[in-house]
Amino acid sequence: MRIGILNSGGDCPGLNAVIHGVVGAASKLGMEVIGFRDGFEGLIPPGDYMQLGLTDTVGILKLGGTILGTTNKRHFAAKLGLVNLEEIAGTVVDLTRETLDGLEIEALIVVGGEGSLGTALHLYNAGIPVIGVPKTIDNDLQATAMTFGFDSAVSCVVDALDRLHTTAVSHKRVMVVEVMGRNAGWIALWGGIAGGADVVLIPEIDFSLEKVAAVIEEREARGSYSTMIVVAEGARLPDGDLITKGKGENSVRLGGIGEVIADRIAELTGKETRACTLGHLQRGGQPTSLDRILGARFGVKAVELAQQKKFGSMVSYQAYHVGSVTIEEAVHKVRTVDPNGEVVHTARAIGISLGD
Ligand code: F6P
C-alpha cells in the first residue's frame, strides 16, 4: 500500500514527530510513504512530493517546524487565482484525485487544524480516502482532549513569564504578555497558571480593566509592586472590540490587544506598564517531550487507521489513550475554555484574577 501525507495550515512543534511516526509504522507494515510539500499545494498535479523512507526521517523527531513545509488555504487560493469558496472546494477535490490516482496512492493523511480538517472532510465526502490528524498549538479542536504543539507553546509562555518576572520585579512594573490561541484562551490560561501570572484575560470571560486596575492596587497595598498579566490574542476589550491586524488576506489575523491593554492600565493606575507580544516564538523551536511522544503516537495511529481503511476518521487523544473519532466530530466548532470549568476554578483558587 502506498500512502500520502501532508500538513496544512500553521506549523506546530511536533509535526516532524508525526511524520517520524507515520514513516516508522508504515515501513514496519511494508507501506510506502509519499510526503507532499507545502500543504495542499503539493497536490497540484503532477504533485510536489518526496519519498519518505526510514533514512529520510532520521533525527527529525526532535525538530521544530516541518520538513514538508506548509501553507494555508488563502495561500493556496491565491496561487491558483481562486476567489470563491465553491471554486476552491471543487478544485481541491479535482486536483487531489488526479494526483493520488497518478501516484497510485491509496490513502492520504492530512495533518491539520480545524480549517484543514474541514478540507479533509470535504475530500472524504467526495470519495477520497482520507485520514485526519489533529494539529494546533491553540488546543481548540473538538473531539480530542489535546493536540500536539500545545504543550510546546505553553512551555514557551512559561519560559517567557519566568524571564519577564525578574525584570518586572526589578522595575516594579506591570507586564502585559500577549499570547496566541486564536479565539480560545487555552494557551493563556495554562501558560498563566504554570508561569505564575497574577491576571489572565481570555476570550471566554468578559473582563473589566477597572477590576484589573483594582487587582494591581490591592497587590501594591500588600507590598507586591509588580503584576504579571497574560492576555490571549482573541480576548475582546471591554467595549467588545476584537483587535485584528493586517490588511486584505491578512485581516483575519489577531494581535495587538496587549499594547492596547498596557496603555489603558497605565492610564488607570499611573504605573509603568510594558507590553510583550510572544507571537510566533510560540510556534517555533523544538517540541517538548510530551509533543514528541504525542506526535509519534498520532502518526502511528494514522497509519493503522489507513491500513484498516477507516477513512473519514481522525486520530484522537482521550483519557491517556490514542484512538479515533470521525473527522466530522472534530470540525464545525472550536473547543473553548469552559468559564465554569475546573481549570478556571484552579486559576481562581490559587489567586489568579480573570479580570471579572
Ligand atoms: O492557529 C495557530 C496560530 O498560531 C494562532 O494561535 C494564531 O492566531 C495564528 O495561527 C497565526 O497565524 P499566522 O502564522 O498566519 O500569522
| Residues belonging to the active site | 138
What's the 307 CA to ligand 1 centre distance in angstroms? 33
Average pLDDT over residues 239-247: 74
Q: Measure the CA–CA gap between 38 and 71, rounded to whole angstroms.
A: 5
Does position 251 have pLDDT exceeding 60, yes or no?
A: no
Q: Measure the CA–CA gap between 66 and 60, rounded to whole angstroms.
A: 9
Q: Which pLDDT band, with edges at 50, 70 and 90, does 293 fall under?
A: very high
Does position 185 have pLDDT exceeding 80, yes or no?
A: yes
Does position 245 have pLDDT exceeding 90, yes or no?
A: no
pLDDT score of 246: 65
Please provide the DSSP assignment of 22-67 as one string: HHHHHHHTT-EEEEESTGGGGGSTT--EEE--GGGGTT-TT-SS-T
Portions of the chain given CATH number 3.40.50.450: 2-148+287-330
Q: Which of 137, 147, 231, 278 to mutate to test the pocket of ligand 1 (most atoms within 8 A of CB)?
A: 137
The DSSP code for 353 is: B
Measured between its terminal Cα atoms, the distance across the chain in Å is 56
Q: Measure the CA–CA gap between 313 and 297, rounded to whole angstroms.
A: 16
Average pLDDT over residues 33-60: 97
pLDDT score of 247: 57
Q: Which residue has the higher pLDDT, 327 or 73?
A: 327
pLDDT score of 52: 98
Does position 89 have pLDDT exceeding 70, yes or no?
A: yes
Q: Which pLDDT band, with edges at 50, 70 and 90, does 297 fall under?
A: very high
Report pTM: 0.96
Q: Which residue has the cell 494555508?
A: 72
Portions of the chain given CATH number 3.40.50.460: 154-284
pLDDT score of 60: 98
The DSSP code for 145 is: S
Does position 282 have pLDDT exceeding 80, yes or no?
A: yes
Does position 204 have pLDDT exceeding 70, yes or no?
A: yes
Does position 250 have pLDDT exceeding 60, yes or no?
A: no
Determine the topology of domain 2-148+287-330 in CATH: Rossmann fold (3.40.50)
Q: Which pLDDT band, with edges at 50, 70 and 90, does 140 fall under?
A: very high
Does position 242 have pLDDT exceeding 90, yes or no?
A: no
pLDDT score of 168: 98
What's the 257 CA to ligand 1 centre distance in angstroms? 15
- Across the chain, mean pLDDT equals 95
Average pLDDT over residues 91-111: 97
The answer to ipTM > 0.95 is yes
Q: Mean pLDDT check: name the lowest of 26-30, 191-195, 328-332.
A: 328-332
Q: Measure the CA–CA gap between 99 and 104, rounded to whole angstroms.
A: 8
Show the ligand 1 pocket: residues with CB < 6 angstroms: 10, 113, 136-138, 180-182, 233, 253-254, 283
Q: Is 3.40.190.10 the CATH classification of the domain at 154-284?
A: no
